[in-house]
Structure 1
């Protein structure tokens, strides 16, 4: 009888030291970034332009799959270059803002990278936002050219008159003309996806782009009720490409296994079913960019539907999917699962929402060939900051994993924001690294509060164990996460307060098995107020994105309970929904 293999054969620190040694793929170097000495990846693509160039080396490999549309890397590159030249003719210059507002379509990465190639700051806006929310994002960012799909144009049509700085709007899949003279069809420039391969091979725009140049503005909901634009650099974006790779390599070393081949040209193509939006840091930075850099295939869905997803996994031999715990649960529990060959799945990963330790056990049980994975990150960390995979995740299912070695984490006293607490103590998580964004666009006060000497104050309460594994305990900010979407309570509460019948309002999170949590409201009406639950839900739905609408509204007979400082006692109010 042989002894069971010892695991782990080395610590996380030992694995990282081996992987980042001089001459290795994940070698690090220190750079002074905005006056702060920062660890960086020596071999990361310098800019997002280099990511596109890397993808193009895969030529006739398929890159983007959307229903009956199949786009190769070469076809994608030609469409992107064609559009970049049109933007240059439109007067787009380095530093101008170019917005992308559409659902996941092959046109999404084309429009994004067309702006990137000109040195523009590309601003993906949340495609679930209302017209008023989209108007705010376009006005706040000072967008010059926007790319939208037909559905988003319908929401924006009545708001265009309020956006004088918006010079052009290109619309993908426009069924009928709407808007004003600034609106034109994207297909008139690049044609339809299956025809992109016939476009001319145009030269790369002659624009100098540096790793520290501004690249993106990604909006995150704000505690003041208005979203904040996180301004990210090219280095922020490309750092994530290495973070996902080193997490997988670390797992091999800790298991005592040799590192696999790392040259994607010598490996079978990796296929990802991308069901999280590209406008999120997770979809863009943790999925799309690494896939493009390594010649992977991205399969898209119009909307998430578990059985349709299983058909795609079988047909396209999908290797990885996920994004939020909802997706994993629905694949596991679907009654039709046994009808499909899902053996190609080797990774089911998620983050962005609380997940039960039971989920990792279920993934291992139902998909034995698949590695479960989760992690922690924020829009402000350009997605992934910690990664947790395979055996490490099974052993510590409540953890979000260790940071990539370029990242640093500290637990500080939440009150003073300065005192560093000892190992295992709970406090506020502060992080530093090349993936932390530069600032909040047009928000100097919020920037000063959040970004301090290269460190990001996350607002999450956490602890770090003796081996560097992160455990998120709670959120210091008044926020909940529904299926990966941040909902800042004050934003919804402000809308409720605007209703003429509402005297007092509070939003709390109620547990949900697959979404993590959902928003619910407790409301006290003014004397004579007659608003119903349906009235208040409709009121919020007219003003905010659908995912922010309370699933329940409970009416409180008196002013909501508060502490001595006047703060609403939400822990008490949550008990209303525990019955």
Structure 2
């Protein structure tokens, strides 16, 4: 199995089909393949040898797509860098896996000089933007033009495709090692389970392409014969324009993006009927938001994905039809074709159906391990199973219900409280735009349930009003004992609420 095979197949089947659309630039399958082979030749001329890491720090673009194929074509390993990180955080990842070549675009070209100071091994910077090439950098386009195409190195099977650094929501980022077999298994298994990407459709990339969720959609799109419609970064205006102008049929969006889109004035005034499918995941979605999204995008079938970087990343899918069942709609779906899932206790023993435990996953999509972290790898991969750190339970039909990150579970007065349940109750209130629930130290209860609430524009509510509202849905011990109103929640580039930051902030403030 090798990821570049998807491109070879496309060249053989339909070379004149539009493969990428970025702004006013459209490139066919044949053009894209030629550029990939030429840039791979350039990377080899710059010293890339089998297994060498090549990084990219850039917003989404058609050149990002070419990078994801050209690096393995050259024999290398991709290292897509989180665009939300500070320079020291970026430097850490580059040093950690010894990335000697880094691509930057217009947005991040200014950081290159500082990165060189922090990363002694950074030998080459390649500019992949549309502006003037900065001093000391090589031009992506010049490299493509100056080199003849080379044969594909055909890195395959258990050879590394990429090192993907975790978002750091639970500590310092770890480099997740994913092989070609991992990525291809996830793409094929995802499409075999549900048609989450339309055959021959137009797949919109608004989520960051460094993140494995979008890379999963991208790889399924390559397999399904999609045209990749790419915008630099998410904004409601850009997403609406892409759907209307380019007839985007499918999109991967995280819940925070869905909320911003469906509540935007641009979406209210536009015909979004071309959009036939929305794949969402990365963080839980509230029942209230899902209802609004389905009302605003009535032509789109919604599919939920649960997974993580270490699983390449898909473990379960919840079908569009399952969204019509109010009970199943609260689940994350069932195991995809390539995954085996069980719920286990701390000793790794499977628990009965309906009992909360840790979600464990097995299959050919499970990571090789964490880069240079054998102890962390051994803790996560036990007896062939990836222990996710997520709490959940499984019903009699195999549907998985996510309870919480095990580290995020709140124990108050000896009772377990799962934040997702409380967040779902709060989110139903019409004044609540966003919310996050965390545990804070409490002298009487050990921990207390604390909610951080962002109110909808022009709305108002009091803590007592919100607590009273929750009583209709959840038990008294789950109701937030304290509530803070905030202007915004800290969100990672992947769309996840950074609860670690919230806990640190409110513990320091003594709330």
TM-aligned CA distance change 1:144 to 1:410, over 3 Å: same
Distance 1:70 1:110 in 2: 13
Structure 2: segments with no counterpart, 5+ residues: 410-418, 424-435, 439-449, 457-487
Alpha-carbon deviation of 1:243?
Answer: 2.7
Q: How does 1:421-460 map to 2 (within 5 A)?
A: 421-460=351-390
Indicate the residue corresponding to 1:237 in structure 2.
183
TM-aligned CA distance change 1:69 to 1:473, over 3 Å: same
Distance 1:110 1:218 in 2: 18
Indicate the residue corresponding to 1:69 in structure 2.
25
The superposition leaves residues 412-447 of structure 1 with CA deviations (integer Å, 9 ceiling, x where unpaired) of 11xx33221011110111111111111000111111
Indicate the residue corresponding to 2:452 in structure 1.
510
1:189 to 137, 143, 156: 143
TM-aligned CA distance change 1:208 to 1:350, over 3 Å: closer
Indicate the residue corresponding to 1:406 in structure 2.
338
Which segment is superposed worse, 90-99 or 356-365? 356-365
Alpha-carbon deviation of 1:223?
Answer: 7.0
Q: How does 1:339-418 map to 2 (within 5 A)?
A: 339-395=269-325, 396-413=328-345, 416-418=346-348
Indicate the residue corresponding to 1:202 in structure 2.
149
Q: Is the 8 A contact 2:127 2:133 kept in 1?
A: no
Indicate the residue corresponding to 2:59 in structure 1.
103
Q: SS in structure 2 opposite 1:232?
A: strand
Structure 1: segments with no counterpart, 5+ residues: 1-45, 192-198, 252-261, 490-507, 515-536, 561-575
Structure (1 or 2) with the larger CA radius of gyration? 1
Q: Is the 8 A contact 1:100 1:148 kept in 2?
A: yes
Q: SS in structure 2 opposite 1:150?
A: coil
Alpha-carbon deviation of 1:550?
Answer: 5.8
Alpha-carbon deviation of 1:509?
Answer: 7.4
Q: SS in structure 2 opposite 1:151?
A: coil
Q: SS in structure 1 opposite 2:5?
A: helix
Say yes or no: does 1:47 pair with 2:2.
Answer: yes
TM-score (norm 1): 0.69
Alpha-carbon deviation of 1:74?
Answer: 1.1
Alpha-carbon deviation of 1:176?
Answer: 5.3
Say yes or no: does 1:144 pair with 2:100.
Answer: yes
TM-score (norm 2): 0.78
Q: Is the 8 A contact 2:40 2:149 kept in 1?
A: no
Equivalenced residue count is 439
Q: RCO (CA 8 Å, sep 6+): is it higher in 1 or 2?
A: 1
Alpha-carbon deviation of 1:511?
Answer: 5.1
Distance 1:427 1:344 in 2: 41
2:202 to 244, 268, 271: 271
Indicate the residue corresponding to 1:196 in structure 2.
none
TM-aligned CA distance change 1:283 to 1:339, over 3 Å: same
Q: Is the 8 A contact 1:240 1:435 kept in 2?
A: yes
Q: Is the 8 A contact 2:21 2:227 kept in 1?
A: yes
Say yes or no: does 1:471 pair with 2:401.
Answer: yes
Q: How does 1:57-96 map to 2 (within 5 A)?
A: 57=12, 58-96=14-52
Which segment is superposed worse, 108-117 or 155-164? 155-164
